[in-house]
Structure 1
Amino acid sequence: MEVSKVWEPIQIGPMMLPNRVLMGSMHVGFEKLEDGVERLAAFYAERASGEVGLIVTGGAAVCREGGMGDAYCNVYLDEHVEPLRLITAAVHEAGGKIALQLFHAGRYAHQEATGVESVAPSALQAPINRHKPREMNPAEIERTIQDFADGASRAIRAGFDAVEIMGSEGYLINQFLSPVTNKREDDWGGDFARRARFGIEVAKRVITAVGPDFPVIFRMSGLDLMPDSTTMEETLQFARMLEQAGVSALNVGIGWHESKVPTIAMMVPRGAYVWVAQQIKEAVRIPVIASNRINDLRQAEAIIAEGRSDMVSMARPFLADSQIVRKSRAGQFDEVNTCIACNQACLDHIFDGKVASCMVNPVVGREKEWALEPAMVSKRVAVVGAGPAGLEAARVLAERGHQVVIFEKQNQIGGQLNYARQVPGKEEFNETLRYYKTQLNQMGVQVRLEMAATADSLIEEGFEEVVVATGVNPRRPDIPGVDLPHVVSYDRVFEKKAKVGRRVAIVGAGGIACDLSHLLVQDQPISPQSAQYLLEYRILDAKAMHQLSHSGRKVFMLRRGKHVGTGLGKTTRWAVLANLKRHGVEMVTQIDYKEITAEGVIIRNQEQEQLVQADTVIIAAGATPNDSLFHALQGRLPVHVIGGAKEAGELDAKRAIYEGALVGRAI
């Protein structure tokens, strides 16, 4: 597909942008580190070098109580200006433009991090916060409005090209607008006009503070995804009010952090919320920016060409590939390391209080120390195993100038990524495999499929170093009856080497078991086109369609421990488990296994025995490192072990790719 509309320049207030791609705001947490500002500067400069139209920073707190902690990016004191200049200088030197996001968390702020009590329109505790906020009085509201304006003034002094007011995702301005969180009956709450007043006053005050020659973008909530919250009619009215107030553009956000609807996880279809931006675009004349699950410039082109928005916001895709815009402009779409919306190293890290990175691109946050250096001596290196660890090791080694050969005993590369990509809603893993195939081919890596390397063969062939990335062996638990013919290992199911019956008991309830359950209950998916046809002509209703998309299997997940889905990230685990429950998967925990019989699995639960009837029993109870080659090579050749072969656990592509990147730089 020819991409052209997305490359057209666009006017955002007084600012002209070279294209219509915005790098959306992300909290990356580098500020916590000793050289955090320098890391942020390097991070943003790298993205600016990739030709993105405009970068928006992570939220900068406009007051202490509105931030996320002392080490957070702040703009509420004059002393915050100088460090921020490092960021703008680096971005401008790389040829880019950058906006500072003006941020107040409201009831989402954690007082243990800020050191002060959190505040909100009403004293209502957020389910994702341990502390109840204090209701703001009118004087505090007025002061907070001025805090936004003062933050904008400091942004100009720090050299930013624009500001974005954060009024989405359930933060303070959104809390004022929504009847869910604003129960006030004074001038700042009650009917819609009074609930909207705070956000409008912030916009007006910021615009006055910065003057007519400085762009002000407003990140508004297009859809709260909260029961009984702001209606679409009110949202469109709010958009028109913001336009009248003088904002330069509207960036449309989706959902609150506490919402029970996934909005940016892999299971969310690409561009699922563009329709919201389209409705807002039809209500105003200023530029409107669409966001959420847009990860391909060809997709962005279609959105803009069809008139559904004026720009697109892509955030995490710039973690996965800092050069996504430049590569796409050159037509190099297969060379893009596509964001797969796994959330494992970005959002999961941030919500765990860690620094953000990226599962498919662990260079994120390490731009300074991980700059790729050519190998001093080109060596002949064997990489054994073409799972995620081996693929990344081979890619980096080849890029540095080594002569690399991959040995893979299966008939395709990917290792256990080939399991994940079969699971409904996880098709994005195909993009990761496409990226590695392209990279290996371009760099001349020789890939030998259906070939199991041995220590003797590697030595005979004259390899100078070996990377062992042979993955794991599924663990076989010591349960009577485990060798019966209807008992199979999870890998055989994923590889379609085992027939699975109508009643299934899975021994194990970690991430692999969750993926397997999802696959088994939805292994007769109906195409979106067929679904639309059947619904449109009322051949089936929504309930019947749901039943049709279900395989009809009854699946039980069994676990000795208390928790299901351990190993899944906290930002996606809840959605995965809710989805499995909707499909009738039963999760039986805190049990002991007594025996597997022809009828199923006999378990002991609180001293009572129970038969879980099953015609197929699948073992998904962990794994052990497949490290025999590593031990066979020790003392004979320089050898490195990475990924599951080094440490078995849940399928951990994040650690595997990280270790591959690390060893690729070490040889």
Structure 2
Amino acid sequence: METPDKILTPLAIGNHVIPNRMVMGAMHTRLETLDRPHERLAAFYAARARGEIGLILSGGFSPNPEGVMEAGGPLFNSADQLDEHRAVTSAVHKAGGKIVLQILHAGRYAKVPECVAPSPGKARINTFPPHALTTDEVWKTIADFAHTAALAVEAGYDGVEIMGSEGYLINEFTAAPTNRRDDAFGGSFAARIRFPLEVVRAVRERIGREPMLVYRISAIDLVEGGMTGEEVAEFAQQVEAAGADLINTGVGWHESAVPTIAATVPRAAWSEAVRNVKQAVSIPVMASNRINAPDAAEQVIAAGIADLVSMARPLLADPDFARKARLGLTDEINTCIACNQACLDRIFTERTATCLVNPRAGREIEFPIGVVSAPKRIAVVGGGPAGMAFAINATERGHSVTLFEADARLGGQLNLAKMVPGKAEFHEMLRYFRVRLDKLKVTLRLGEAATPEALATGGFDEIVLATGVSPRVPDFAGVDHPKAVSYLDVLSGKVTPGQRVAIIGAGGIGFDVAEFLLGDAEESLDPQAFFRAWGVDPKSVTPGGLIAAADPEAPRRSVFMFQRKDEPLGRRLGKSTGWILKAKLRKANVAMTAGATYDAIDDEGLHYTVQGKLHVLAVDHVVLCAGQNSNRTLYDQLVARGLKPRLIGGADVASELDALRAIDQATRLAVAL
């Protein structure tokens, strides 16, 4: 696309001017739990500042112990912590950026026994019931916000963001179902919004006019009894009057039954909710959620929906996002594919965040930079994610790389993944790899199967095998019957299954095949289809912006899923996305059977046993998704010649087409050679 101009325009926020309209949104990383945490955080944020992002919003820090996300979570309430934060702010400022500290009180989402809330009532996503704050404790909490804000300014932050969205403490005050108080902070709408307004006023009074004061408002709650759009607009006006310089928009609560940032959500889907805020106030407003490309950001600004765009995970994927946008190098942006595998799924399972497409994210100090002193000639075999990632990173280090791929096109099984509804962003991943390989002038030998002879006599210093996987064929009668087909043949279009289909294997591939077979409308590309399917009123006329979901269209096929394990199907899917896929399959009446033993496939269909009882399911096809085996024939041939090839990706470990592990492993090997 052409170089965007709206998102490159400077903007005044209070007494500060930022160079462009692109902001790194706040996100949890859990980097503080690793070794050398402050060095890691400084390197992490400084890399984004060097990448020319207009403003950085830090991860959330609680103003008091009861508000932390989890035991040992980020807390900033003591002058003893100033030097730790100065390490971060000085690194960002040295790199030419600006950074704001987010103050986040988790409320009843805090995974600590001391968690608090406006009223009694345990959150569905927490095991700890909260203590209901007394009126005196509410005022003490307001003072705690102001105290942390003052510390942030003293530590060198350019301002603070007050987190009032996503179902955390402040949001719990504004929603009637979680605020059943009978004091001055509950009851009427005016009373329910008093707490956040008092926080804004206290913070502004404490830090003065110079630092930025950002407020993150819930533009649409997506929970029963949440605010209406009219209430959000009125609230935004009062936030401005209380002293905010900028309003950032959040979407949904963490316990909402509507996806908000997964790949199934269309880009910039929440624009109407953001526009509602923008039209209500005179200070700048920031859009967020599923804005992952310069053209999407440009459209939001050009349409007057918002003044800035907040991009959190896209800055994990590519710290140079803003610089590339300025230089017109948009094809070279490593796009966030909203898979959530390495970021949200890790955070929700108490691990540290990184990025599937960029393993350096949050690990900057672990990766050497610059070129090697003694470059090598390296052959890499396999043009899937592992092979391409290795070739790119090794070439960037100064090595001469030749990539062999037996197919006429790059991508490997990414070419199958992109065919699944909701995974259209995989096209962007492939685009980035192809553009980068071309830019680096990596020697590509497409349509050429690497032979042991060619590798052994090619003068290569290193041979890296990313030869991938092949489907595992289960061992029972009839797997060679015409009704039995591989997931490869189905997703590639080689085989078109009939109207009744059984799927053997309920891992990630099995679920992807099920969604592919159902032929669902591509909700991720059509906002209106998405809103209808999930029961969303984007204008929030109703409380929380929820309406009755439309009845799903009749599925294209009848699908039956089976697995050997005697546990709920989909139990091992991604923490933040698996529930979405399972909900869609339930709506399509997909039958799911656990604890199955497969007996045979024949003209009658699939014969199987559950709890000792034999069954026969009449189907047109049985799709085999029973795992994979590593392709190591070439490896064995090279070892037999006395060579020492290196294995990466599926060729090393054949597990569920794990692109996250494959790309990380390939990147680390490339920089280590």
Please say whether Structure 1 and Structure 2 have the same fold, judged by a TM-score greater than 0.5. Answer: yes
Give the residue type in structure 2 aligned to 1:656: A
Give the residue type in structure 1 aligned to 2:6: K
Residues 470 and 644 of structure 1 are in contact (CA less than 8 Å); yes or no, is this contact kept in structure 2?
A: yes
Instruction: Give CA-to-partner distance per residue, 1:266-318, whole Å, 9 cap, x none.
Output: 11000000211111111111111000000111211111111111111010000
Matched residue, 2:491: 494
User: How far apart are 1:531 and its partner, in Å?
Assistant: 8.6
- The 5-angstrom pairing of residues 153-552 of structure 1 reads 153-522=150-519, 546-547=552-553, 550=555, 552=556
Choose from 141, 145, 159 the match for 1:144.
141
User: How far apart are 1:341 and its partner, in Å?
Assistant: 0.6
Give the residue type in structure 2 aligned to 1:51: E
Matched residue, 2:90: 89
RMSD of equivalent CA atoms: 1.9
Give the residue type in structure 2 aligned to 1:333: T
Instruction: Give CA-to-partner distance per residue, 1:406-459, whole Å, 9 cap, x none.
Output: 111222111111111001110000111000101111111122222221212211
User: How far apart are 1:150 and its partner, in Å?
Assistant: 0.4
Q: How far apart, CA to CA, are the structure 2 residues paired with 1:378 and 1:34?
A: 31
Matched residue, 1:29: 30
Matched residue, 1:539: none
Q: How far apart, CA to CA, are the structure 1 residues paired with 2:384 and 2:125?
A: 36
Q: How many residues align?
A: 653
Matched residue, 1:663: 669
User: How far apart are 1:525 and its partner, in Å?
Assistant: 6.1
Matched residue, 2:587: 582
Residues 62 and 147 of structure 1 are in contact (CA less than 8 Å); yes or no, is this contact kept in structure 2?
A: yes
Unaligned runs of 5+ in 2: 533-547
Q: How far apart, CA to CA, are the structure 2 residues paired with 1:277 and 1:543?
A: 22
| Structure with the larger RCO, 1 or 2 (CA within 8 Å, 6+ apart) | 2
| Residue 614 (str. 1) matches residue 611 (str. 2) | no
Measured at CA, do residues 423 and 161 of structure 1 come closer, stay the same or move farther in structure 2, by a change above 3 Å? Answer: same
Choose from 557, 560, 579 the match for 1:556.
560
Residues 464 and 638 of structure 1 are in contact (CA less than 8 Å); yes or no, is this contact kept in structure 2?
A: no
Matched residue, 2:576: 571
Residues 377 and 401 of structure 2 are in contact (CA less than 8 Å); yes or no, is this contact kept in structure 1?
A: yes
Residues 607 and 617 of structure 2 are in contact (CA less than 8 Å); yes or no, is this contact kept in structure 1?
A: yes
Structure 2 length-normalised TM: 0.94
Residues 74 and 80 of structure 1 are in contact (CA less than 8 Å); yes or no, is this contact kept in structure 2?
A: no
User: How far apart are 1:463 and its partner, in Å?
Assistant: 2.1
- The percentage of aligned residue pairs carrying the same residue is 46
Q: How far apart, CA to CA, are the structure 1 residues paired with 2:324 and 2:371?
A: 22
Q: How far apart, CA to CA, are the structure 2 residues paired with 1:528 and 1:16?
A: 35
User: How far apart are 1:581 and its partner, in Å?
Assistant: 1.6
| Residue 128 (str. 1) matches residue 134 (str. 2) | no
Residues 12 and 18 of structure 2 are in contact (CA less than 8 Å); yes or no, is this contact kept in structure 1?
A: yes
SS of 2:202's equivalent in the other structure is: helix
Residues 389 and 469 of structure 1 are in contact (CA less than 8 Å); yes or no, is this contact kept in structure 2?
A: yes
Moved more, 559-568 or 74-83: 559-568
Give the residue type in structure 1 aligned to 2:74: C
Matched residue, 1:46: 47
Give the residue type in structure 1 aligned to 2:667: A
User: How far apart are 1:528 and its partner, in Å?
Assistant: 7.0
Matched residue, 1:643: 649
Measured at CA, do residues 529 and 262 of structure 1 come closer, stay the same or move farther in structure 2, by a change above 3 Å? Answer: closer
SS of 2:151's equivalent in the other structure is: helix
Q: How far apart, CA to CA, are the structure 2 residues paired with 1:531 and 1:337?
A: 28
| Residue 593 (str. 1) matches residue 590 (str. 2) | no
User: How far apart are 1:649 and its partner, in Å?
Assistant: 1.1
Q: How far apart, CA to CA, are the structure 1 residues paired with 2:430 and 2:268?
A: 22
SS of 2:89's equivalent in the other structure is: helix
Residues 3 and 327 of structure 2 are in contact (CA less than 8 Å); yes or no, is this contact kept in structure 1?
A: no
Q: How far apart, CA to CA, are the structure 1 residues paired with 2:409 and 2:497?
A: 23
Q: How far apart, CA to CA, are the structure 2 residues paired with 1:138 and 1:253?
A: 27
Q: How far apart, CA to CA, are the structure 1 residues paired with 2:78 and 2:672?
A: 43
Instruction: Give CA-to-partner distance per residue, 1:311-343, whole Å, 9 cap, x none.
Output: 110100000000000011100011100011110
Matched residue, 2:69: 68
Instruction: Give CA-to-partner distance per residue, 1:534-566, whole Å, 9 cap, x none.
Output: x9xxxxxx9999527x4x211111111113235
Instruction: Give CA-to-partner distance per residue, 1:64-91, whole Å, 9 cap, x none.
Output: 1101245432211121222101000000
SS of 2:178's equivalent in the other structure is: coil
Measured at CA, do residues 575 and 530 of structure 1 come closer, stay the same or move farther in structure 2, by a change above 3 Å? Answer: closer
User: How far apart are 1:666 and its partner, in Å?
Assistant: 2.3
Matched residue, 2:539: none
SS of 1:547's equivalent in the other structure is: coil
Q: How far apart, CA to CA, are the structure 2 residues paired with 1:289 and 1:581?
A: 36
Q: How far apart, CA to CA, are the structure 1 residues paired with 2:365 and 2:138?
A: 41
Unaligned runs of 5+ in 1: 536-541
Residues 464 and 637 of structure 1 are in contact (CA less than 8 Å); yes or no, is this contact kept in structure 2?
A: no
User: How far apart are 1:351 and its partner, in Å?
Assistant: 0.9
SS of 1:154's equivalent in the other structure is: helix
User: How far apart are 1:526 and its partner, in Å?
Assistant: 10
| Residue 5 (str. 1) matches residue 6 (str. 2) | yes
SS of 2:455's equivalent in the other structure is: helix
Q: How far apart, CA to CA, are the structure 2 residues paired with 1:613 and 1:36?
A: 57
Moved more, 365-374 or 498-507: 365-374
User: How far apart are 1:27 and its partner, in Å?
Assistant: 0.7
| Residue 623 (str. 1) matches residue 591 (str. 2) | no
Q: How far apart, CA to CA, are the structure 1 residues paired with 2:479 and 2:90?
A: 64
Give the residue type in structure 1 aligned to 2:310: S
Choose from 651, 660, 668 the match for 1:654.
660
SS of 2:262's equivalent in the other structure is: coil
Q: How far apart, CA to CA, are the structure 2 residues paired with 1:13 and 1:530?
A: 34
User: How far apart are 1:212 and its partner, in Å?
Assistant: 1.6
Q: How far apart, CA to CA, are the structure 2 residues paired with 1:440 and 1:241?
A: 51
